[in-house]
Amino acid sequence: MKSKRMALFLGVTAISGLACLPGSMAKADTTDDLLAKLLAKGILSQQEYDQLKQRKAVETPPPPPPAAVASASAAAVAAAPPPDPFAVRMTEKGIGVHVGPVDVTLSGEINGYYVHDSPDSVAPNHVVAGGLAAVGSSENSSIRNGLLPGNFAVELKTQQEGFDIVAHFGLYPGLNSVSGVGGANSAGAAHALATSGIDFRQQYLTVGTPSMGTVKVGRDIGLFGQQAILNDFTLFGVGSTGGNVAPSNTSLGRIGIGYVYTDFMPQITYTTPKFSGFTASVGIFQPLDAFNFSGQSGTLSAHNDPQIQAGVNYELPTDASSLLKAQLWANVVTQDLKSVSAAEALPQGRSVRGTGWDFGAKVDIADAELVAYGYTGDALGTTGLFFDGVSAAGQARSSDGYYVQGSYTFFKRFTLSGSYGLSRLGLASGEVNPLLVKTNESWAAGCKYKLTSWVNLICEYAHTTATAHGGNKAQEDTIAAGAIAFF
């Protein structure tokens, strides 16, 4: 009888304790199970069991109504101190901090490759003015950057007076030493005590709202040819070398061998909000010279009016689970190329208009990606904007080109890619110029292995051919292996 009283005392004490604990409603099933077991073992009589159940029901507080919970939460929020405008906090993702109302983020990229090049010999039949297949006395090797130099970017982002504001600064240091004659991306200087170049190619401000669109002011990538290079798989590798004995800051990739380089240019550009997948952009840009890149062309360097670029872009609306993604784009660039003096290709004050159009598509189906791109123009030139676009007499040359590319990713990490591209430069009406480049073309194949979320391992092969209007031809074979890291 004594032991029964002790057990009853312990049971009542335990039940009372459970009932008094915060959140005891969540323990209701446990208490009921304990009472049932005490009854089954004969420790509690039916009368005692019923009394304890009634006591538990009285002592267990009812749950607070939802309105009370919401009121308490609102009170807690109201009681919280206002955010410190000078507080520094980590960003939720990426590398950066919140400094009061401003997000400061850091990003960048580093790459390096071993490149072995096998060019045609220096011989009269291999001379192609403006050709992009390197020629040399022997095979050669280098440790160098690929199509991208390094990159270190700082971006400041905030909202003021309802406007989203971004200030971006991007520095692009080269791995290899350069001569410095002609800028940060000048010819290579493969000797001791030389230094690399730093291409400060990005510094721009954007101001906009979701409803009005965005205005960009500063120096950044152009519209014409932009998607061509951003979708080129050799962007993350080497492609064609552009010369490998004394490498400069970058290789060529597929620049001039399927597209004209978009370039980073001073600009004031407006981009619309996205409407059903469509955006449009238009801007005024720093005008450029008609430049004699090949040594077989004319120059025009008066800049009376700005260069105009415009484009449209369409992205198929999809959700994250969709296996099909598609993008279409088209752009135009146009500029008056005018003579500044009688020493140039045309009489002073005379001009020719340089215009180019480009168009392309990218389709992703599951792990496969296909890209097709093309361009055409008059006095547009080849390789760079308005390079060799006019003859020595100032007449417009036509040019066009394209590339096609396919990639497939296995196991989310290993990607195989291949592409073919060609750029053509025509002769002006009545022009005879047998050494001038007629076509630059290349085949390229590459593999990429995603080692970590930052680091990719790359290997590539490229075969480049340059052909002159008179029949001269130069060929180059390139093998590259290295790594690229983005953070």
Report the candidate in 388, 301, 380, 392 with the shortest Cα–Cα distance to residue 345.
392
The stretch 3-14 carries a mean pLDDT of: 48
pLDDT at 88: 75
How far is Cα 164 from Cα 245, in angstroms, rounded to an integer? Answer: 47
| pLDDT tens-digit map of 273-311 | 999 999 999 999 999 999 999 999 999 999 999 999 999
pTM: 0.82
How far is Cα 325 from Cα 329, in angstroms, rounded to an integer? Answer: 14
Q: How confident is the model at residue 127 (pLDDT cuts 50, 70, 90)?
A: very high
Which is more confidently placed, 436 or 93? 436
CB contact at 8 A, 241 and 476 = yes
How far is Cα 293 from Cα 299, in angstroms, rounded to an integer? Answer: 10
How many residues does this entry show for the chain? 487
How far is Cα 390 from Cα 388, in angstroms, rounded to an integer? Answer: 6
Q: What angle do CA 255, 260, 261 make, to 5 degrees?
A: 65
How far is Cα 105 from Cα 141, in angstroms, rounded to an integer? Answer: 37
| pLDDT tens-digit map of 63-106 | 667 666 566 666 655 566 666 666 776 676 678 999 989 999 99
